[in-house]
Structure 1
Amino acid sequence: MTEVEVLQLLVSPAHRLAGRPSDGPSPGPSDERVPQVEVRRGLGLVGDRYYARPAHRNAAVTLMAWENLPADADLRHTRRNILLRGVDIDSCVGSTIALDCGTGPVLFAVNRPARPCAWMDVTIGPGAQRALRGRGGVRCTPLNDGMITLGPATFRVVAGPDDAGP
């Protein structure tokens, strides 16, 4: 078990980074960061734009490592949902992980990398897309219901990519 910190949580009700990056983001709330999120099994984060969307069930929640986030950037720039300090989340593709903020573990199937797109060069700055390759976070499916809150948490890999599953 690893001690980590949940630094930021983002629940975005609208997809603001659509279309051409040169057109800029669509209007929306200035800050979609929240102190806690409700996670629903197979559906995602309550209130998020990908919640209960069949096309996004295997990518409903995105996690990113703070250590990979460029200076002066935050989740509003990357459009990831959960920012963790203290774990190399990008190395967990294919695993099942548990994140426990004190109310019980929330399990996630880490399905694939969250590849940075051209929007990163607009929201963070020129070169950000290239800089985040292989370090842009992971796309996950929640495997149970629970709560994620800001602050200290424990993290563990429940099953690795070569295991049969939890």
Structure 2
Amino acid sequence: MPEIVELLASPVHRFEGRPADGPAPAPEGELVEEIRIRAGLGIVGDRYYAHPAHRDASVTVIARESLPVGAGLTEVRRNILVAGIEVDSLVGSVLSLDSGQGAVRLRVRRPANPCAWMDVTLGPGAWRALRGRGGVRCVPLNDGILRVGPVSVGIEPDTA
């Protein structure tokens, strides 16, 4: 059964500067059990919430199956880590996730391409290994809440 494994809502951007210098420390409490999503704005409390440059990609989703064993959201800086959903093939679709509070619909706009930071946070070769498997960038179409745990999934073509 598909599930939401981890959720990240971080108020700060940790991957700035040169990867060789390492990321900034993780703020307390960025991994959460629940996130509140607002249509067109993103995740309340996240660094990209209502940020004009990121409104077209304010929520990121990645599949656990794409990551090395033991890796999670603090290493890849995506918002939603799912299992049992092949998200990288969903560009041009609308992904619906319902963890018990009603479906949250996400327009899957484009791939979330990995960067050189992955070789620092996950290990040498990760950047290359994640090409085509780095997750997706989405626009939330409605307000809602997502929680860690089992999730019902819907996929439909994006007609907009």
On whether the aligned pair clears a TM of 0.5, the verdict is yes
Give matches, 1:1-166, under 5 Å.
3-29=1-27, 32-160=30-158, 164-165=159-160
SS state at 2:68 partner: coil
Distance 2:28 2:127 in 1: 22
Superposition deviation, residue 97 in structure 1: 1.3
Bigger CA drift: 26-35 or 59-68?
Answer: 26-35
Give 1:30 shift.
5.3
Between 1:132-141 and 1:26-35, the stretch displaced more is 26-35
Percent identical pairs in the alignment equals 57
Q: What is the RMSD of the two structures over their aligned residues, measured on CA atoms?
A: 1.1
Partner Cα distance (2:14, 2:64) in 1: 22
Q: Which amino acid in 2 is paired with 1:92?
A: L
Q: TM-score, normalised by structure 2?
A: 0.96
Whether the 8 Å contact between 1:31 and 1:76 is mirrored in structure 2 is no
Partner amino acid, structure 2, of 1:143? L
TM-score, structure 1 length as denominator? Answer: 0.93
Deviation per CA, 1:81-133: give whole Å up to 9, x if none. Answer: 00111110000001011101111100000000000000000011000000000
* 3-state SS of 2:16 partner: coil
C-alpha distance in 1, partners of 2:75/2:10?
Answer: 12
Runs (4+) of structure 1 moved beyond 3 Å?
Answer: none
What CA deviation, in whole Å up to 9, does each residue of 1:35-83 have, x standing for no partner? 0000000000000000000000111000001111112211000000001
Unaligned runs of 5+ in 1: none
Report the CA distance between 1:28 and its aligned residue: 3.5
Q: Distance in 2 between matches of 1:78 and 1:31?
A: 16
Asked if 2 retains the 8 angstrom alpha-carbon contact of 1:12 and 1:47, the reply is: yes
C-alpha distance in structure 1 between counterparts of 2:108 and 2:55, whole Å: 12
Compute the displacement of 1:32 (Å): 1.7
